[in-house]
Amino acid sequence: MPSSVPSVPPPRVRPQPVLGPPARAAVFLVVTVDPGGETPAREVLAELPALERALAFPHPEGRLSCVAGVGAPAWDRLYGVPRPAALHPFRELSGPRHHAVATPGDLLFHIRAARPDLCFALTAEIMKRLRGAATVQDETQAFAYYDARNLLGFVDGTENPAGADAAEAALIGDEDPEFRGGSYAIVQKYLHDVAAWEGLTTEEQERIVGRTKATGLELDAPGSHKDVNTVLGPDGAEQRILRAAMPFGRPGRGEFGTYFIAYARDPQLTETMLRRMFLGTPAGGPDPLLDFSRAVTGTLFFVPSADLLQDLSEHGKPR
């Protein structure tokens, strides 16, 4: 006898490509939606997978992907449904010496590929559709530098989780069922004082970073960048976020930087790290690396699952 209980479709859990592998090239595009631009913005978000597929199809080796995020004010304007539980404007931090600024941002497009021309092409198509509807707040073209190093010469992302651990760190689960498969992204653009940094000895640099420069191996360096950014959970285990930071720069203008982006299932963990960096900890601080790196942007976005983003963009609400 057939059951009278209707079958329940599986929840929407197809994430955007948050867990994508490191790329050779990236564009970080942050825009604000102009008054009256809500409909074109929703249309771009709905069309994004098709745009990505069309540009990527002739070049499968290019591994083109794009993650789209929505800021708190834009969420209310675009969709008119309750926000994800932890979505709020980026919280500015003013420490004794350093300042984490909060800057405008309604939409984030994190575009990655093995080739910079594919990143450029997708960025151009997005902006063509947003012309007259959105204002660019920041557009940063980033690149992989040597063997995964930043422009300060150190290997970046050494402690990134991988595989199932990356999904556990970055993707929302049953704690917020309506937004399962989504993530929170915090972005900050840092400019480095390379001249001052290069005035230090290698040993001084290593004490500040907390790792060896040649190999990236962890050092016993209390108060270092590595030490300040280590957050332990109640069980004593290190809590992790998924970093996808990349270098950028224009040497002719003396610009050298790191575009920091971190994905997490709860932005509170990333915010805790930033508070430790900028405000210090009971044991000391703030982060000594901030004496050579200045944050010039700061924004928080929610990254819906791919299915939820499609539903919201096409229908204005989850189905």
- Contact partners, residue 228, CB within 8 Å, separation at least 6: 273, 276, 277, 281, 285, 286, 287
Residue 112 pLDDT exceeds 50: yes
pLDDT of residue 225: 96
d(CA 240, CA 231): 8
To the query of whether residue 156 is one of the catalytic residues in this protein, the response is: yes
**How many angstroms from the chain centroid is the CA of residue 7?**
37
Q: Where are the beta strands (DSSP E) in 115-250?
A: 134-143, 183-192, 242-243, 246-250
Q: Which of 76, 106, 147, 156 is catalytic?
A: 156
Is the pLDDT reported for residue 6 higher than 50? Answer: no
Question: Going by C-beta distance under 8 Å and a sequence separation of 6 or more, which residues neighbour residue 1?
Answer: none
Q: How confident is the model at residue 315 (pLDDT cuts 50, 70, 90)?
A: low
What is the pLDDT at residue 2?
Answer: 40
In this prediction, residue 304 carries a pLDDT of: 97
Residues 6+ apart with CB under 8 A from 267: 86, 184, 186, 300
Percent pLDDT > 90 in the chain is 87
**Residue 9 pLDDT grade (very low, low, confident, very high; cuts 50, 70, 90):** very low
Which is more confidently placed, 4 or 145? 145
Does residue 1 have a pLDDT over 80?
Answer: no
pLDDT-derived band of residue 3, with 50, 70 and 90 as boundaries? very low
Average pLDDT for the chain: 93
Residue of 138, 126, 160 whose CA lies nearest to 22: 160
Our measurement of the distance from residue 306's CA atom to the centroid of its chain's CA atoms, rounded to an integer in Å, reads 16
Residue 194 identity: V
Q: Which whole number is the average pLDDT over 115-126?
A: 98
- Give pLDDT, residue 285: 78
Of the given ranges (12-16, 204-208, 238-242), which has the lowest mean pLDDT? 12-16
Phi and psi angles of residue 164, each rounded to the nearest 5 degrees, phi first: -65, -30
Q: Are strands 299-303 and 134-143 parallel, antiparallel or unpaired?
A: unpaired
pLDDT in tens, 255-305: 999 999 999 999 999 999 999 999 998 877 799 999 999 999 999 999 999
pLDDT digits (tens, 9 = 90+) for 144-173: 999 899 999 999 988 899 999 999 999 999
User: Residue 7's pLDDT band (boundaries 50, 70, 90)?
Assistant: very low
pLDDT score for 16 = 97
Q: Could you read off the pLDDT of 72-108 as tens digits, one per residue?
A: 999 999 998 999 999 999 999 999 999 999 999 999 9
The confidence score (pLDDT) of residue 284 equals 77
Tell me if 108 sits within 8 A of 143, measured CB to CB.
Answer: no
Encoding tokens for residue 57?
Answer: 């199809």
Mean pLDDT of 6-31: 81
Rounded distance between C-alpha atoms, residue 42 and residue 83, angstroms: 16
